[in-house]
Amino acid sequence: PNQYTEQEAKKLGVVGWVKNTSQGTVTGQVQGPEEKVNEMKSWLTKVGSPSSRIDKTNFSNEKEISKLDFSDFNTRY
């Protein structure tokens, strides 16, 4: 399912990672221009991958950064 998240992130031009947890949730980090990060947050909240069910989303540790820590967006295992 994370392939859809990767596709959306690459389409928007944000970088970071996503990972499924053992609790059946998804965690990750997104970096990029604020408006693009907000678009990604909206997608994660409202759309998600076709097989997912979104009960709630929680965004934390939001801050401005001077440079990106990642060069692309990928899935961690």
Two tokens, residue 33: 């221009």
CA distance 24 to 53: 11
Residue 56 burial (C-beta neighbours within 10 Å; 0-12, 13-18, 19+): exposed
Q: What is the pLDDT of residue 38?
A: 96
Q: What is the pLDDT of residue 2?
A: 82
Q: What is the pLDDT along the chain (77 residues), one digit of tens a residue?
A: 688 999 999 999 999 999 989 998 889 999 999 999 999 999 999 998 888 888 999 999 999 999 999 999 999 98
Q: What domains sit in the chain, N to C, each tagged with a CATH number?
A: 3-49+67-75 (3.30.70.100)
Residues 6+ apart with CB under 8 A from 63: none
Q: Is the pTM of this model over 0.85?
A: yes
Q: What is the pLDDT of residue 39?
A: 96
